[in-house]
Amino acid sequence: MQPEVEKVNGVELIFKALSDATRMKIAYALTLEDELCVCDVANIIGSTTATASHHLRLLRNMKLAKYRKEGKLVFYSLADNHVHQLVSIALLHAKED
């Protein structure tokens, strides 16, 4: 049983990344849009572009988000459908009575 349980090592980092309210808002916003530029994310969460960029970089480093550059603009999206499902399920669970 112990080797089986060891498979979860590192998975907590995903939840740690999403446990921050700002990053969860960003992840949720990215479930509503296919992709957003850093300036749009900053506007949505009511922060500076530097703050938004910091949180987006962390999500990217955790492989929860991906990005593409178009000139000087950087666009972010969720890494894959699994991340979309995690955010959606967490939201549904939070709304349950």
> Residue 75: which CATH number?
1.10.10.10
- Split at pLDDT 50, 70, 90, the class of 89 is very high
- What pLDDT does 97 receive? 73
Average pLDDT over residues 40-56: 98
- What pLDDT does 59 receive? 98
Q: Which residue range(s) make up the domain with 54?
A: 2-95
* C-alpha span between 44 and 39 (Å, rounded): 9
Q: What is the count of structural domains for the chain?
A: 1
pLDDT tops 90 at residue 62: yes
10 conformational bin, left if phi > 0, alpha if psi -120 to 50, beta if neither: left
- For 2-30, what is the HEC assignment? HHHHHHHCCCHHHHHHHCCHHHHHHHHHH
